[in-house]
Structure 1
């Protein structure tokens, strides 16, 4: 019976830790723009130069 109380306590501490990390990421702006970074990799900003030799 004691192990159940221990496991409930550990799970509540973990949940509070994850909630704290989520709130920290919201406050620091980590979740502001999720679309642009994923699209930036698809768009090629570099123009080919004369030294590029593609066969």
Structure 2
């Protein structure tokens, strides 16, 4: 029975500490954006994986001003 006299105050102190830590985290914005970090990790390194030639804009097929590569002869 004497252990209860020790455990109850220790339990109350731990609960109060948990509530204080949770309220501190909420006030500092810890739980503001829950979806952002989950989606951000999916798009972190994608720019480095795109080849350099794919980054250049493609020319229009109907454009007469630029020749196609390999079309060096005229009809």
Structure 2 unmatched ranges of 5 or more: 53-75
Q: Tell me the TM-score normalised to structure 1 length.
A: 0.76
CA RMSD of aligned residues (A): 1.6
Partner of 1:21: 21
Task: Find runs of 4+ consecutive structure 1 residues off by over 3 angstroms.
Answer: none
Larger Rg: 2
Aligned length: 50
Partner of 1:53: none
1:12 aligns with 2:12: yes
Q: Tell me the TM-score normalised to structure 2 length.
A: 0.58
